Amino acid sequence: MRLVLLGAPGSGKGTQAARLKEYLQVPHISTGDLLRAEVAAGSALGLQAKEVMARGDLVSDEILLGMLRDRFSREDTKAGFILDGYPRNLAQAAALDELLRSLGQKFDAAVQLAVDNEQIVERLAGRAQAEGRADDAPEAVRKRLQVYDQQTAPVIEFYRQHGQLTVVEGVGTLDEVFTRIVEAIAPEKAVG
């Protein structure tokens, strides 16, 4: 199963991706982790990315797509993957679609974890206090949510128009949210 997890910062994507990885027995691919691993490995794309990041610029879609192409060609992704952190905009969504088509891989679903913005602010404020994370302070979270709404939310509409979007309520216990996701994407394998 090839999935993209969508949702605002703090919606639980990373937490649920880790659980889905074990359940579906496919890798969880976070583009941030992938980028750091390529830089650390000193790959050609990693060296390009390192140079861009050293200038304080964002890594181009072309470099990220190249890293994803390499990652999707590995044996452990043959049965699928869970993609977290990509696509973040419409151009990336279209590029991912084209990449999978060129690799002869079928895209299964985009799962949006729907959580109200004020619940996210509360959720992340608790994490900020517990972990001392400045990026989770309420003002910073509201800014990140604004950026998300402007840039990433249109990706949700992209997948809706392609009939590939599943919206799951992201509020509740970890088990409740996980069960909702599994029931939505693989009802024949549902846990609950």
Asked if pLDDT for residue 132 goes beyond 90, the answer is no
Asked if pLDDT for residue 53 goes beyond 60, the answer is yes
Choose the most confident range, by mean pLDDT, from 42-46, 153-157, 180-184: 180-184
Q: Is 74 a catalytic residue?
A: no
Q: By percentage, how much of the chain surpasses pLDDT 90?
A: 56
In a domain, 148, yes or no: yes
Which of 19, 123, 144, 180 is catalytic? The answer is: 144
Segment 145-158 shows an average pLDDT of: 89
In a domain, 51, yes or no: no
In a domain, 104, yes or no: yes
Q: What is the mean pLDDT of the chain?
A: 89
In a domain, 45, yes or no: no
Residue 187, pLDDT score: 65
Query: Domains in the chain: how many in total?
Result: 1
Residue 140, pLDDT score: 83
Closest CA to 63 of 73, 50, 76: 50
Indicate the SS3 state at residue 110.
Answer: strand
CB 92 within 8 A of CB 61: yes
Confidence label for 184 from pLDDT (cuts 50, 70 and 90): very high
* DSSP label at residue 108: -
Q: Is 189 a catalytic residue?
A: no
Which of 21, 36, 50, 88 is catalytic? The answer is: 88
**Which pTM was predicted?**
0.84
Residue 100, pLDDT score: 95
Question: Domain residues for 110?
Answer: 2-26+83-189
CB 83 within 8 A of CB 159: no
In a domain, 121, yes or no: yes
Q: Which amino acid is at 138?
A: P
Joined together, the tokens standing for residue 17 give 């991706």
Asked if pLDDT for residue 9 goes beyond 60, the answer is yes
Asked if pLDDT for residue 134 goes beyond 80, the answer is no
Q: Is 144 a catalytic residue?
A: yes
Which of 74, 106, 133, 143 is catalytic? The answer is: 133
Segment 82-107 shows an average pLDDT of: 92
Segment 30-47 shows an average pLDDT of: 88
Asked if pLDDT for residue 189 goes beyond 70, the answer is no
Segment 141-150 shows an average pLDDT of: 87
Closest CA to 105 of 78, 131, 76: 78
The CATH number given to whatever domain includes residue 15 is 3.40.50.300
Joined together, the tokens standing for residue 36 give 């750091």
Confidence label for 192 from pLDDT (cuts 50, 70 and 90): very low
Which of 13, 19, 71, 123 is catalytic? The answer is: 13
Give CA–CA dist 42/142, Å, rounded.
36
In a domain, 42, yes or no: no
Helices 153-161 and 90-102 cross at an angle (nearest 10°) of 50
Residue 17, pLDDT score: 95
Q: Is 88 a catalytic residue?
A: yes
* DSSP label at residue 132: -
Q: Is 21 a catalytic residue?
A: no
